[in-house]
Amino acid sequence: MPICSSTKTLRGHSLDGRLVFVLTVTAFVVSVKCDDALNYLQLVKDAFYDEPAKYETFLDIMKEFRSHRIDTATVATRVKHLFSGHPELIQGFNFFLPTEHQIPIYVREAVAHHADQVN
């Protein structure tokens, strides 16, 4: 059963189809809305527009979680490595994680990322 019951479209992909499992990220917390998950998914897709394999890897991680092949700690570890160099994505992902599994963001990494964005 999908977390979101309404049909949404994300740049041509029906969320009733292949991408609906990504919304299971909302299973980490009770109060997350479908729009939060959709907006975050779009941020990830936009961040990796030139690296579609990374976006697909993220979707695969969420699929593994949904099928109970990996636990929350494993999801956090994999996402931390996948999103290395993208502290804004890690910060956004933390929104969906329970406190005990949140990924630390170090000031140095965030500052370096910001400097790269400015230059």
Distances (CA, A) of 85 to 47, 68, 90, 113: 11, 28, 9, 7
The answer to which of 14-23, 28-37, 109-118 has the lowest mean pLDDT is 14-23
3-class DSSP assignment, residue 26: helix
Sign of the CA dihedral with 35 first, then 4, 90, and 59 last: negative
Q: What are phi and psi of 50, to 5 degrees?
A: -95, 0
Quote the pLDDT of residue 42. 94
pTM: 0.67
Report the range out of 3-7, 46-50, 104-108 with the highest average pLDDT: 46-50
